[in-house]
Amino acid sequence: MSASLAQDNLVNSLKVNASDNSKAAFKFTDVINLENTSVKNQGSSGTCWSYSANSFLESEMIRMGKKPVELSQIFSARNAYVEKGRIYVRMHGAVTLGDGGAFHDVMNMYKKYGAVPQMVYTGLNYGTDKNKFSEMAAIMEAVLAATVKNPNGELTPNWEKAYTAVIDSYLGEVPKSFEYNGKKYTPETFAKEVVGINANDYLEISSLQEYPYYSKFTLLVPDNWSYDQVYNVKINELTEIIDNGLKNGYTVAWAGDVSEKSFSWKNGVAFVPEKKHDTMTAEEKADLFNGPKNEMVVTEEMRQKAFDNYTTTDDHGMHIVGISKDQSGKEYYIVKNSWGATNDYKGYLFMTKEFVKYKTTAIMIHKNAVPAVIAKKLGV
């Protein structure tokens, strides 16, 4: 299944996770709400990782006192697809294809290729007004599959031209230079002079019991096609890092599992119920998102087990921009999504800290946002 179809199926599967009176039953009060750019829609593409990471970079521009630019999410994705194809062939096809990816892909492509404004490179090259990647993904996969079969007995240098030509025929060729606000830039000079972030200042962090804490490990999820490493911290330190960042003006890119029955995109609420969904009555299921509920306390053992048995999967990326409290005083993260402004909170949702402890696969954050005690243990 292509990542774009998987993304459509994920969104459709979540439509049943809703209660009738949710918005009226919650009273959210913002504690911190950091400035961020408008909500976007990734369409039928598995590019949440690029939309959320570029949204994160736009907020970083704001934090640095710059006027934010809507960055081309598909520029990041297109370059990642080229690099992923090279790795796929190098690994004789033993790499996950599709349009999924990770936050480090955006940073790695930023370092290698630069950045461009969205209006310069929309990725809409065949008459659609939203991304629709399934046909492109199928042809990309066919080219790579034919390449690794090696019908000539040795690889020619031409496969990469053919593969890149498929991508560019759907997404458009990347501009070598362009004008922005009356000045001419290349993607590299635009990244340096306008965006102005240092990609080396950002860390990816996760939490798994099976690896030593405060060291780095390779996050073994299918979309980590580049085998990048993340820092390992204890479960409670995940939320400590997020909280410290938000309190000091830093937003956070969040990757994790949203396929839970206790995640409602329609109602804009995600939490960890005390009871398992399959043990709930019909009335409890119908009432799941109608106001604050008690939660299970998530442990490191629970988190590791869910990762091991595939009940926590790396299926979505979003952007944490603040903290809000419900009427009982419990704190939630304010999370910006990339599925358009179609839910109760116009594209945002409220995710509890227990949900984040349980279902996060990784976060990305500026190194200065990490509390000093934890940063020292990590050696950053």
Q: Residue 114 in contact with residue 176, Cβ under 8 Å?
A: no
Residue 187 buriedness (CB in 10 A; 0-12 / 13-18 / 19+): buried
The per-residue pLDDT for 1 is 40
Distance, CA of 16 to CA of 221 (rounded, Å): 27
Residue segments in the chain with a per-residue pLDDT below the cut of 50: 1-2
The per-residue pLDDT for 127 is 85
Stated pTM of the model: 0.96
Tokens of 78: 């297109």
The per-residue pLDDT for 7 is 72
The per-residue pLDDT for 4 is 61
Tens digit of each residue's pLDDT (9 = 90 or more) over 180-227: 999 999 999 999 999 999 999 999 999 999 999 999 999 999 999 999
Total Cβ atoms within 10 A of residue 283: 8
Tens digit of each residue's pLDDT (9 = 90 or more) over 22-77: 999 999 999 999 999 999 999 999 999 999 999 999 999 999 999 999 999 999 99
Angle ∠(45,267,11) on CA atoms, nearest 5: 20
Q: Tokens 């590299």 appear where?
A: 188
Q: Tokens 């996050």 appear where?
A: 219
Q: Residue 105 in contact with residue 362, Cβ under 8 Å?
A: no
312: three-class secondary structure by DSSP: coil
314: three-class secondary structure by DSSP: coil
